[in-house]
Structure 1
Amino acid sequence: MVETLPLFPLNTLLVPEATLPLQIFEQRYLRLIKQCLRSQQGFGIVPIRDGGEVGAPAMIYQVGVLAHISDWNQGSNGLLHIKVVGSRKFRVLSTQVEDDQLMTAEVEYLPEEDPLDIPDQFSGLQQLLEELQEHPQVAALELPLAHTASELGWLLILLLPLTRSEQVDMLAQNDPIERLQHIAELVDRLSSDPE
């Protein structure tokens, strides 16, 4: 099913079930947030391939995540502070830019991943995630716990030192076990590379 979504390009990645705090100050995004709050609809967060978050529309990757606003307030600095939660993954089919530079896209949702248990062979990755989540900067992100193979993979692609294109490629995968296998290979490579 194809749907039209307003897009919010970011220099960060949102994955399903994770939360992300945002500060909104540009008019195009204030309009977007007001519209989403009024209609109780979500918007798409897509990672930036080239360009910036502010000003002219950026070049984006073709995979993103539907975001729903879970909380919002007006900050003392006058900026709108929102917190979003990631839900469904989508592929961008085409984009348009509105008069105020807000980007919208025709998107197609990627298949939902089966909530598979984490296989025993990936218990090392589960332990790695738990160790990473104990770090104060990671703890501040308030990431959810990983109960399924999909959740473990999504959280690790956020936290491991991957390039943006590697993150997007792994996010786009629909087989959670295959994703964990790729992550395990990457961790092996990272741990065996001399400094």
Structure 2
Amino acid sequence: MTDAPSLPLFPLQTVLVPGAALDLRIFERRYLDMVGECGRNGCGFGVCLILEGNETGTPATPVAFGTEAVIEDFGNTPEGLLSLRVRGKRRFHVLRTRVRDTGLIVADIEWRADAAASSRLRPEHALLVELLRRILLQVDAGHIDPDPALFEDAAWTGWRLAELLPLSMQQRQVLLQLDDPHARLQLLLDGIAAEIG
């Protein structure tokens, strides 16, 4: 018997970070059932990067850190598949997993919160805010500008950069596993400096 919350997992070849949107096409019975269950219970599901295996067929082995995906919209593709638009919410750490008869992986998890007492952006990371503003101007042209106060939030700034920069999935996964938003920004800054140098 465990008191840990449980979450169905959707292992993918991608990393979902908090606040980021992800479009999915659902066709396997186990995931169609999962979506129905999430809809009935008003809950999300976990997205984890695949460590070993594939997105379809035999259950893949997921990494131990992921992000809760909350369904924002759904519809049907021209091929008749279920399409979902989900958004990353909370990070979690997998404690143990079990596989249902359908092949759906269910995990006992612990939620992970940012550890910093203050998430206010530090002066040494101001360059990253300027970079993020420029990226958003390019990708969000014509959209509503984010609240200026968000750019002073180290966690929000770090997650938006993790979402939008051309990082490998392994690099994104490292950022996802960090509990300190300032350490996350420093890692991004060090990586950019290394690219320039």
Q: TM-score range by the shorter chain?
A: 0.7 to 0.9
CA distance in structure 1 between the partners assigned to 2:85 and 2:121 by the alignment: 28
Match of 1:7 among 6, 9, 33: 9
- The two structures have a TM-score, normalised by structure 2, of 0.86
SS of 2:5's equivalent in the other structure is strand
Give the deviation of 1:112 after TM superposition. 4.3
Q: What residue is the counterpart of 1:51 in the other structure? A: 53
Listed one character per residue, the Cα deviations across residues 83-142 of structure 1 (whole Å, up to 9, x for unaligned) are 11111110011111111111111111112456722223212111222333344xx549x9
1:122 partnered with 2:122: no
Q: What residue is the counterpart of 1:91 in the other structure? A: 93
Give the deviation of 1:76 after TM superposition. 2.5
SS of 2:23's equivalent in the other structure is strand
SS of 1:44's equivalent in the other structure is strand
| Higher mean C-alpha displacement, 151-160 vs 88-97 | 151-160
CA distance in structure 1 between the partners assigned to 2:58 and 2:136 by the alignment: 35
Give the deviation of 1:40 after TM superposition. 0.8
CA distance in structure 2 between the partners assigned to 1:47 and 1:2 by the alignment: 21
SS of 2:30's equivalent in the other structure is helix
1:190 partnered with 2:192: no
Match of 1:160 among 155, 158, 165: 165
CA distance in structure 2 between the partners assigned to 1:111 and 1:127 by the alignment: 26
Give the deviation of 1:20 after TM superposition. 1.1
Percent identity (aligned): 36
Q: What residue is the counterpart of 2:20 in the other structure? A: 18
- The two structures have a TM-score, normalised by structure 1, of 0.87
What residue ranges of structure 2 are gaps of 5+ in the alignment?
none
Indicate if the aligned counterparts of 2:49 and 2:63 stay in contact, CA closer than 8 A: yes
Listed one character per residue, the Cα deviations across residues 164-192 of structure 1 (whole Å, up to 9, x for unaligned) are 33322221111111111111111100111
Indicate if the aligned counterparts of 1:93 and 1:106 stay in contact, CA closer than 8 A: yes
CA distance in structure 1 between the partners assigned to 2:167 and 2:52 by the alignment: 17
Q: What residue is the counterpart of 1:31 in the other structure? A: 33
CA distance in structure 1 between the partners assigned to 2:66 and 2:191 by the alignment: 22
What letter matches 2:60 in structure 1? A
- Structure 1 vs Structure 2 CA RMSD: 2.1
Give the deviation of 1:161 after TM superposition. 4.0
What residue ranges of structure 1 are gaps of 5+ in the alignment?
none
| Higher mean C-alpha displacement, 57-66 vs 126-135 | 126-135
CA distance in structure 2 between the partners assigned to 1:22 and 1:163 by the alignment: 20
